[in-house]
Amino acid sequence: MGIYNRDYVRDEPTSPRRTHLANQTVITTLVIINVAVFVLQNASPQVTDMLSLSVNNLRDFQIWRLLTYGFCHSMELNHLVFNMIGLWLFGRVVEPIYGHREFLWFYLTSIVISGLCHVMFQLGQGLSNPVIGASGGVYAVTILAAIHFPRMTILFMMIFPLELRWLAVLYIGMDLYGMMHGGSNVANAAHLGGAAFAALYHYNGWRLTGLMAFRGFKLHLPKRRPKVQIYHPESNEQDIDMKVDALLQKIHREGEASLTDDERQILKNASRQYKERR
């Protein structure tokens, strides 16, 4: 079966949610965890104290807080709701490109890096205010989605149509302004840290899934991938299918002209492999 026989490029409607639902297990799990922690926070204020991140926590070697702070939110419901909407909206177009495990590693790493950026900024300012919230990770996912689908249009504030590339510029500009002027309870440094990590992750071709895999007592760090990725016959067929599905979704939304040269090469290589599977 060739790539143009798939659901996304057929004229007639055929189970449009099948592929999305198959690739949203990580996003769904993350949303459930965040909601569950929010419920626990409301049941006991001590939960927030145990999970939040500050300079003093790291001085006491409470390293786990670099991750746990990203799963709790303020008592205001809109803090949780807006973060989860962002994670769901942009994560579902990014996860199929990278696969479940890689997306999870990306999200968790972005939370850690965002937390470190917040702590370093506060050290420079002589502050030690605690931070909570998934915003740093959600920012990273949003920027990654904007890189892959810059012309994808959303309704900003549920009213104004806005392309993702301009949403990314708007978010970054607001946080730069917030950092320069201060006086805000928003963790601007954490947001910018997540955005910077997403950009570096994409343009350097990093992959985190095998980061901690030891082979012959050697640690294999992420390597820069070639501009045109070559798929060998022994490549994982499921990963190829997910990448192709994501690109076909992009064609369905934005037209074939929106594809980059690298993306066209991926489709060409995948089409050849589909023919060989017959």
What pLDDT does residue 270 have? 78
Mean pLDDT on 235-257: 72
What pLDDT does residue 275 have? 64
| Residue 139 CB contacts under 8 Å (≥ 6 apart), including other chains | 110, 114, 171, 190, 191, 192, 194, 195, 198
How far apart CA 121 and CA 267 sit, in angstroms, is: 43
Higher-confidence residue of 220 and 238: namely 238
Higher-confidence residue of 73 and 244: namely 73
Mean pLDDT on 9-14: 35
Q: At what angle do helices 77-98 and 100-125 cross, to 10 degrees?
A: 130
Burial of 93 (0-12, 13-18, 19+ CB in 10 A): buried
What pLDDT does residue 27 have? 95
How far apart CA 30 and CA 67 sit, in angstroms, is: 13
For the chain, percent of residues with pLDDT exceeding 90: 56
Domain boundary assignment for the chain: 7-219
Higher-confidence residue of 183 and 66: namely 66
DSSP β-bridge partners for residue 218: 215
What pLDDT does residue 110 have? 98
Q: At what angle do helices 135-148 and 77-98 cross, to 10 degrees?
A: 40
Q: Could you read off the pLDDT of 182-213 as tens digits, one per residue?
A: 656 789 999 999 999 999 999 999 999 877 55
| Residue 130 CB contacts under 8 Å (≥ 6 apart), including other chains | 52, 53, 54, 57, 69
The CATH superfamily label for domain 7-219 reads Rhomboid-like (1.20.1540.10)
How far apart CA 197 and CA 201 sit, in angstroms, is: 6
Residue-averaged pLDDT of the chain: 81
What pLDDT does residue 26 have? 93
pTM above 0.75, yes or no: no
Mean pLDDT on 75-80: 92
Lowest mean pLDDT among 15-19, 46-50, 141-145, 190-194: 15-19
